[in-house]
């Protein structure tokens, strides 16, 4: 059984190692996406200043005017407490057989001035995000990464079994013999890092299942813990005959009035006249500092009536599990500390692949060298030996013909 686990652990790691390394490296960069994007593109991320905020309707109007052509406004992401740039997301008309284009427009919330715009592949970080999400392969890439995720979980289950540390001395569990030969040193590092960082790697892998295939994760959770509020009802409204709808500033004010202490994170616009606005807000002191909040308010675009509301107070156990999938995966669950932990998990995954590949390569090289030496010795043993004095070969009368 141990020999089987060794082979399984080795070759699963080798076959999936390149993908795991790619996911680890891109994930380490994405976890600090906002900080890196602010450093690389400071003109798009000005700091909040002591100045009055422009009306939200002006911000939306300026963002829409920045794009020429047929673009539909999908959502508006509000800035953080220390930021001054709101981000409007637009979707264009799709060409036959192609996905619809997307566009981001950055607007200053103080002056309503457009700071810039970009497409989904205009920056290095956006390319890394797409590689991390589906390898630029769409659905086949997501299925491939799902298989890689299950392979990562398999490595995490077999690794501790193969380690089997001797005794229960915790000091020995942390020990890496740095003075030993490189093969022994990297073997110790591979085992110790893999065992102690396994919870971080496992949490990232489990949440990756939700990121790649939400229905699969929802089905698995719902089989144990029922989901009550996670699937919001599909609301279909009767659009007004005159086509008049409330401006976005009024919609946000209605949601803010119901939760005056909450922070507005996102405003999702109706994709059709028969669909509602969706306002996402974060509760005070919420541990999830990502781009979405735990409060969701759906508002009729014409009348301003509150159609549906979701808060964590009504969450079931299954709802809580599903809510934490995305924040745990990208590290926003615990602020800066959470992102540092996710970064360490990604770096550990890269370290495990590098040390595992090194161990496999060195052992293969040593095995090949050993086989070569055996062949050389066998070849030397089969050659005629030189006659020694006193050997019958020196006596012609006794030498066999």
Sign of CA dihedral 359, 361, 362, 365: positive
In this predicted structure, which of 52-61, 96-105, 107-116 has the lowest mean pLDDT?
96-105
Model pLDDT for residues 286-317, shown as the tens digit of each residue: 777 667 788 999 999 999 999 999 988 888 99
Of the candidate CATH numbers 3.10.450, 3.30.70, 3.30.1150, 4.10.240, the domain formed by 47-122 belongs to 3.10.450
Q: Model's pTM, two decimal places?
A: 0.83
Model pLDDT for residues 141-195, shown as the tens digit of each residue: 999 999 999 999 999 999 888 876 666 566 666 778 888 888 888 888 898 888 8
Residue 97 φ/ψ region, left for φ over 0, alpha for ψ in the -120 to 50 degree band, beta for the rest: left
Residue 237 CA, distance from chain mean position: 36
Model pLDDT for residues 226-265, shown as the tens digit of each residue: 898 887 777 778 777 666 889 999 999 999 999 999 999 9
Q: What is the DSSP string of 247-293?
A: -HHHHHHHHHHHSTTSEEEEEEPPSSTTS-EEEEEE-TT-S--SS--
- At 331 the three-state DSSP class reads coil
Contact 249, 210 (CB under 8 A): no
Domain spans of the chain, in order of start:
1-41+124-222+331-370, 47-122, 248-314
DSSP type of residue 83: B
């Amino acid at each position: 059984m141990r020999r089987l686990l060794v082979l399984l652990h080795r070759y699963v790691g080798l076959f999936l190692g390149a993908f795991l390394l790619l996911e680890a490296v891109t994930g380490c960069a994405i976890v600090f996406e906002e900080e890196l994007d602010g450093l690389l593109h400071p003109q798009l991320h000005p700091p909040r200043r002591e100045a009055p905020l422009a009306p939200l309707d002006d911000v939306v109007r300026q963002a829409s005017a920045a794009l020429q052509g047929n673009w539909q406004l999908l959502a508006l992401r509000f800035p953080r407490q220390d930021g001054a740039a709101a981000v409007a997301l637009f979707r264009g008309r799709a060409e036959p057989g192609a996905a619809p284009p997307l566009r981001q427009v950055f607007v200053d919330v103080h002056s309503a001035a457009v700071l810039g715009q970009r497409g989904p592949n205009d920056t290095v970080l956006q390319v890394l995000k797409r590689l991390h999400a589906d390898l630029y392969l769409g659905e086949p890439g997501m299925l491939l990464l799902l298989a890689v995720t299950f392979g990562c979980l398999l490595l995490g289950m077999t690794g501790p079994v193969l380690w089997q540390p001797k005794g229960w001395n915790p000091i020995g569990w942390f020990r890496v013999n740095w003075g030993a030969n490189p093969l022994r040193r990297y073997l110790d590092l591979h085992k110790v890092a893999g065992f102690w960082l396994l919870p971080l790697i496992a949490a990232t892998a489990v949440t990756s299942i939700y990121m790649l295939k939400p229905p699969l994760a929802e089905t698995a959770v719902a089989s144990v813990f029922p989901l009550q509020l996670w699937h919001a009802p599909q609301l279909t409204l009767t659009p007004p005959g005159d086509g008049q709808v409330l401006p976005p500033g009024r919609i946000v004010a209605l949601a803010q009035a119901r939760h005056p202490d909450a922070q507005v994170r996102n405003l999702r616009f109706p994709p059709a006249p028969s669909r509602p606005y969706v306002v996402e807000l974060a509760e005070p002191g919420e541990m999830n500092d990502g781009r979405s909040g735990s409060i969701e308010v759906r508002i009729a675009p014409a009348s301003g009536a509150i159609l549906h509301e979701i808060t964590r107070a009504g969450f079931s156990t299954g709802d809580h599990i599903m809510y934490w999938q995305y924040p745990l995966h990208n590290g926003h669950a615990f602020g800066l500390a959470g992102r540092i932990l996710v970064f360490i998990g990604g770096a550990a995954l890269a370290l495990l692949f590098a040390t595992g590949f090194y161990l496999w390569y060195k052992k293969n090289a040593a095995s090949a060298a050993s086989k070569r030496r055996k062949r050389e010795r066998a070849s030397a043993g089969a050659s005629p030996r030189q006659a020694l004095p006193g050997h019958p070969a020196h006596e012609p009368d006794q030498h066999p013909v």
